Every structure is written in structure tokens, then in C-alpha cells.
Amino acid sequence: MLDVRRLGFLREVARRGSFTGAAEALGYTQPAVSRQIAVLEAEVGMALVRRVPHGAVLTDAGRLLAERTEAVLRQLTDIEVELRSLAGLRGGSLRLASFASAAASIVPLAIARFRERHPAIELTVMMADPIDTLPRLRAGDLDLALSHDPLVGRAQAADALTVGGAQHDGADVPGHERDGRPALETVHLFDDPMYVAMPVGHRLAEVAPLGLRAFASEPWMLGTTTSCPDSRLFLRACHAAGFEPQIAFQNDDYPAILGFVAAGVGVALIPDMVARGVREDVIVRPLEPAPPARPILAMLPAGYRSPAAAAMLDILHEVSTSWVAARPAGGRPAGGLSSALTGAG
């Protein structure tokens, strides 16, 4: 492969019409320029420059190579400018995926903050469950994805994984691949506590302290157990409390689940992300002891963070910190969070 630096020497000889003029323009001695041109001629196997009494002229091969060199060097200059823009977040793109409850809570604030700080970055956002987004991360179709499932949506297994101080069952751990798939990096943002939701006027609405076992005879609304990690956390909590829950309705859509709860069909376990915007005809209470919290995770390909992904990750940490700080000390979810978050820069 031809040396780009030597091509630059040839271009200057063509521009200046002499080795001496090229040497002055490049800051080299005239013999040094002559040696570089001689090496280039040896590489191509053809004469490129012909000396004349008052300077130097290019041969046909030299003119062809010099013309192509102009285009090559212009492209390299453009590439350098674009790379500097990427590094300085003055260009590039970011493809982000989020699960539903994050998309309804922390993600809009993170997106608004990102666009305000980095308007030149092309930001694409999609909503999908972790079981769908993680394969796309591995395939390079996404740059960053939010997840609440350290087990990649797989069924319970005998192994145990600790994420953010809470244990979760499962054998397939992102970032620790056993089958040669591209590894994923997992960044813990915060833990999202789970609360019990019941209709207004429920017999246990004013009981304190309130344990999960008190709901052993209640019909339960929950997500699809094979795909919803929240449901796996719920089943673990029920088994730890010593009962097998009666499942009356299964759906992975929290608004639908809360509609059934409000109608008095049953009760549900919901995360703080959902509880803060709960409808008025549903009562939300903390449990003692508290069920396992779900870890809120940012996931990206291991080994590389683009400048845009790193910037979004910083913003997600900021928004997450504000989100957790706005959580009521007593564990009772409350609304009115948007102003607390948007005031954080």
C-alpha cells in the first residue's frame, strides 16, 4: 500500500514545480524530498518525476498519481474533521431502546436533556422489551438499551446473580457469554422497589404494617411469567412468603393490569416507575418486608462506548439520581416528580 505521506511529497513537487520549492513548503531539506520521491517511484515501479534545468515536471504516471492523491488527501481531511466532530459530540448518531415503564418515566427527561446538550447528534429511540432489544445490541443494531432483566428474559434457573445488591435467579448473565455471542456491558442505574396495588376501599388498604402474605387469598394480576421479569420477582416473593398466588389475569401492559385492579378484579405488584403515575381509583402501599426490587440497567456492547453513548449514560445517571432522590422516605409512592427532575440541569 502506498504511503500517504509520500503522496503528499509528490503533490507538493507538482504544485511547486521543483524539489526545492516542495522542500520549503513541507519544511524538509531538498535531499529528503528527493529520497521520498525515489522510494515512491520504487513502490510503484515507474518514474514519476523528471528533472529539468529549472525544476521538475511529472511524468504521465506522476500526473495520474498526483491527481488521485488530491482526491485521497481531501477525503482523509474530511474524515479527520468528521472524527473530531464525533469526539466532540458535534455529529454522529445514537440508537436507544427502552422498556415501557422507563419510557414513561425517566427516558423522556433523559432524551430532552440529551437533545438540549447535544443537538447535532441524531437520536433514535424505540420501545421494546429487553428480550427483544438485547439481540439487537449484540447485532450492532442498537447502541444502548435500558433493561430491568439481568437474566435476558429467560426462565428461572438454579444459578444466582447479584445485581445492585439484590439477587436474581438465572444462568444467562449479559456480559458473561458462554456460547461465543458478543458480550454486553451492564451498568446499574438504580433499584426500582415494588409495591402492592389494590382498588379503593379494599379491606387491607389501611392495614399497617402490611405483608405480602395478607394477600395470599386474593386474585392477582401480573405479567406473562415467561417473558416478564417483574412477574418472576413477584413469584419469588410469594414463595418466600409461603403461598402460591392465584393468578386471575396476565398481561404485560401495566395500564391494563391497573384497570383490572381499579375494577376490583384483583390486586397487583407494580414497580415504583409505574406507581408514581397511578390512577386515582387505585391505592398503592409498600410491603413489609419489601419484595425484591427490580434492577434498572443500561446495557451496551462490551469494550466500546461511543462518545454519544457515553454522554447518554452520564445523563441517565443524572436523571436516575434525581428519580431516586424524589422517592418518598416512607416508601409510599407520590406524584409531581417532573418538576424535581427537570430542574436538575
Q: How confident is the model over 120-155, as pLDDT tens digits?
A: 888 999 998 888 888 889 888 999 999 998 664 333
Residues 6+ apart with CB under 8 A from 42: none
Q: What is the spatial distance between Cα 325 and Cα 152, in angstroms, rounded to a whole number?
A: 28
Least confident of 170-179, 200-209, 284-293: 170-179
Rounded average pLDDT over 101-129:
93
pLDDT band at 286 (very low <50, low <70, confident <90, very high): very high
**Domain 4-87 falls in which CATH fold?**
Arc Repressor Mutant, subunit A (1.10.10)
pLDDT exceeds cutoff 60 at 169: no
Least confident of 113-122, 188-197, 335-344: 335-344
More confident residue, 292 or 155: 292
Rounded average pLDDT over 212-225:
90
Q: Are 96 and 145 spatial neighbours (Cβ–Cβ below 8 Å)?
A: yes
CA atoms within 13 A on the CB side of 82: 8
Residue 225 has a pLDDT of 64
Residue 212 Cα distances to 215, 225, 283, 287, angstroms: 6, 19, 15, 6
Superfamily of domain 194-285: Periplasmic binding protein-like II (3.40.190.10)
pLDDT exceeds cutoff 60 at 70: yes
Residue 226 has a pLDDT of 62
Q: What is the spatial distance between Cα 221 and Cα 261, in angstroms, rounded to a whole number?
A: 7
Model-level pTM? 0.67
Residue 106 has a pLDDT of 96
> What is the amino acid identity at position 65?
L
Residue 332 has a pLDDT of 56
Pairing, β 194-199 against β 282-285:
antiparallel
Pairing, β 246-250 against β 219-222:
parallel
| Same fold? 4-87, 194-285 | no
CA dihedral (40, 41, 46, 49) positive or negative: positive
Residue 229 has a pLDDT of 84
List, for residues 219-278, the tens digit of each pLDDT value: 999 887 666 788 888 999 999 999 999 999 998 889 999 999 999 999 999 999 999 988
Count of CB atoms within 10 A of residue 146's CB?
A: 24
Q: Which class is domain 93-192+294-342?
A: alpha beta
Residue recorded with cell 416512607: 330
| DSSP codes, 5-29 | HHHHHHHHHHHHSSHHHHHHHHTS-
The domain ranges of the chain are 4-87, 93-192+294-342, 194-285
